[in-house]
Structure 1
């Protein structure tokens, strides 16, 4: 479904009211969220690690289990998205269900989570660009130079209206999906390495290895689907588009990743895959693409890893910008970031602030090897995401349990989200007990990073408590409550 340009009267009205505005349709919202998930990044860089560290050959079955948990969570997520007056993502959800103190802690955590994803995309994208250009005889430049190039384009697009960004994300994602589809068809049509089998769905393989780590990493593969609710003001018919798009994304990711993981395992054979990954997990997926789809597809996969990270950087930039915009609109942080661009109806000042922080972040990590920088940032993202999902699931369950105005439907949504809460809390406990594995560090540095993440959460909660005592007017607006009383400036 193509995006139609917003008519001048609509844009003028939205801007006059101090709201973000867009005209995103169903398909473009789906593609925007999928782009944030980064399918090529997951396939080439993440699925091999999940198989190696998790439950091995049984990984496709675990991906399906995680997809079911995500669907249960989505039931409550879309219910909250329709009930809450303003789009604030995890920030609004946690505030509504668990109180404003927890809500502001979740808002701060969300910014750390998506900022780490944003910065990590530049690191991995820079590494992929460095490798690609070196292989074709191009200049040998450090990864952060390429990362800054991606950053410049992302910053420009993030400043514009979301409709334009959605078009860019849709184009790149379509290329990723086509290549993954071609790979899966090639593996199946050629019968894999030793013939196709269903070993991945046998109980002895499903419950093999470290099933807890498999579940934790599997949940992380779905990151991004929850972002649909934060774009509500920029979507056509949000009451219908957002729920449909969110469910669609979860189903597509479940099928795509389970099928791709199964194809990848069969491309080497169930008996050989663990040995291959133990010796060279980083190149195993690329070599599988080369073997089954040819050198051109191998080259295309490398290029699409670059574009996938670019799409991820753009999508995460847009999400962080909107969290900053929401917090600024509520008066929690500096009010200047709540300005809406007169022409683009975008959170342009919040976008510029994100760009400034990212530029500093790239320079800070420039002295580190790109792959290592990505691993650190991906670990921070994964842990912060586990916290957000567990807190949001609990908040939704509590909120819906108290609000039974929706009748049986609300009851079903509360039960579904409650079930997902159990699994997501387990994932958070596993993430905490295995933090060294997630972050890829040891000793003092591990605990320092953990302390920083938890410190950010604590800072948000303490700030809310201070506002409650000293600035009750600001405290009352936390979580986008009564945000309409403050109209952001239009520039």
Structure 2
């Protein structure tokens, strides 16, 4: 394509020279991004009491079962990641296995899923910050300034280099998991309310009517774990690092969630925990840590819930930026969004665009006098969560389809058995989530129907969009997710000076 004189040389130079920073992330760094996106402290303090209320003392096993399901999915997912090495992650996998129309639909679905998971959480940030300020200082603050301040803070974090984000997330993740470990230590040292019990593992307590609801909550708690593949271009030895980070994240989350929920059961006792969860679900974990550790620890938990939300926001923001970067490089999104900062090596224009989109959504909900938790969080998060689960399902289906068409040396366990089993399990998980959608949203049937349909509708809209690309922009359509070789750039003057 020719370059016109209206294109300034200084505008073209950074995009021609700068790339994402390769070799920046190790296994632990990528795992920090993934686990931080899941927000373990927020999930435990905010959602686990509801799982206990609905599923009883067998709730911890629900998190183990969800973790096992996603570990099965990870087998085929990480195997395919060794063969499909582009930056598009989910949509690249789905394109290779199910064709370009499905892949383009998946790309739109990924944008909905990750943006929904992040933007909605600005409502949670406002709600959690207000609760923390009220609990610690008795102050009541409006929610809009908190959300907007969060947008600016996260935007800056995404603008900086990826290793800066990894270090920051590492600190925040240690803080939020540390406070839960402190609670666990206090409960174990004091022997719980009535002595430690393993009754939570008994089949009679696991297979109860409320288990389906527990599983729905549990699967939602892992949302975002698959984003390990998004960081392939910045990973050290991605063929090893990405699979290790994926298994590490799934294993840690499954075991840690189950352990912490079991600790909560022990803190109140097998016969009292359901009553405690029903009486004060929002304050259940604060009551437990005050009893077993002290009021100062409850104050820290309030603070760390806010930092947990910030960590989740930054992790999803970085994931969104890299999806947008990949789609800009494909030509599906405006190519300007593919510009990379010459110093920080971040997709900064994609980050700015995402921050602006987040501000528009937040301001729209504020103008409509919506509640930051009940509407902004739940109504925006829910389509995002369903969208990411649908992407996981499509990716699981794509794995055996891909390996059936190419020559490879992988075993059938990784390329057929595990992906097919994962397909069945993930489809079941989606049915459970949709069947209990009212527990996630608290909304009317009409609103719930719209929230559930948003993700499949966006995917289906990708099919006519793919047809339009094929007719109007055939070069974009034909090169979609084909992984062209990326040239190694020369250092920019800024980098040389450093």
Using structure 1 for the length normalisation, give the TM-score. Answer: 0.91
Corresponding residue number in structure 2 for 1:458 = 460
Alignment of 1:181-196 (within 5 A): 181-196=181-196
Alpha-carbon distance, 1:32 to partner: 1.8
CA change 1:162–1:278 in 2 (3 A) is same
Match of 1:211 in 2: 211
2:99 is the alignment partner of 1:96: no
- 429, 432, 440: which one pairs with 2:431? 429
Q: CA deviation at 1:280?
A: 2.1
- Does the Cα contact within 8 Å between 2:136 and 2:299 map onto a contact in 1? no
SS in 1 for 2:344: coil
Q: Hey, what's the Cα distance between the residues in 1 that align with 2:429 and 2:300?
A: 35
- 1:448 Cα deviation after fit: 2.8
Please list every run of 5 or more consecutive structure 2 residues that lacks an aligned counterpart in the other structure: 1-13
Instruction: Output the CA distance in 2 between the equivalents of 1:289 and 1:370.
Output: 27
Asked whether the 8 Å contact 1:220–1:385 carries over to 2, the reply is no
CA contact (8 A) 1:33 1:228 kept: yes
Cα distance, 1:413 vs. partner?
Answer: 4.1
- For the pair 1:399 / 2:391, whether they are aligned, the reply is no
TM-score in terms of structure 2 length: 0.90
1:116-155 residue pairs with structure 2 within 5 A? 116-137=116-137, 139-155=139-155
Q: Counterparts of 2:180 and 2:436 in 1: how far apart (Å)?
A: 31
Shift of 1:114: 1.4
Equivalent position SS for 1:193 = coil
Of 471, 474, 478, the match for 1:472: 474
1:390 aligned onto 2:390: no
Check the 8 A contact 1:154/1:310 in 2, yes or no.
yes
Aligned residues: 474
1:381 equivalent to 2:375? Answer: no
- Once residues 474 and 485 of structure 2 are traced to their aligned partners in structure 1, the CA distance between those partners, rounded to angstroms, is 14
Distance in 2 (CA, whole Å) between partners of 1:321 and 1:84 is: 20
Deviation at 1:480, TM superposition (A): 4.9
Of the structure 1 ranges 164-173 and 266-275, higher mean CA displacement relative to structure 2 is found in: 266-275
Q: Give me the whole-angstrom Cα distance separating, in 2, the residues matched to 1:83 and 1:467.
A: 26
Structure 1 residue 332: Cα displacement: 0.9
Query: What is the CA distance between 1:18 and its match in structure 2?
Result: 5.6
Aligned residue for 2:254?
254
Distance of 2:166 and 2:442 partners within structure 1: 34
Do the aligned residues in 2 keep the contact of 1:386 with 1:431 (CA within 8 Å)? no
Instruction: Note if contact 2:105-2:458 (Cα within 8 Å) is conserved in structure 1.
Output: yes
1:447 maps to which residue? Answer: 449
Q: Would you say the 8 A contact 2:332–2:476 is kept in 1?
A: yes
Q: CA deviation at 1:431?
A: 2.8
Aligned to 1:37: 38
Who is 2:290 aligned against? 290
Distance 1:480 1:181, change over 3 A: farther
| RMSD between aligned residues | 2.2
Report what 2:5 is aligned to.
Answer: none
Q: Which runs of 4+ in 1 moved over 6 A?
A: none
Cα distance change, pair 386–439 in 1 and its aligned pair in 2 (3 A): farther
2:265 corresponds to 1:265: yes
Q: How does 1:31-110 map to 2 (within 5 A)?
A: 31-53=32-54, 55-110=55-110
Give the distance between the partners of 2:51 and 2:463, measured in 1 at CA: 34
Distance in 2, matches of 1:439 and 1:400, equals: 39
Which runs of 5 or more residues in structure 1 are unaligned? 1-13
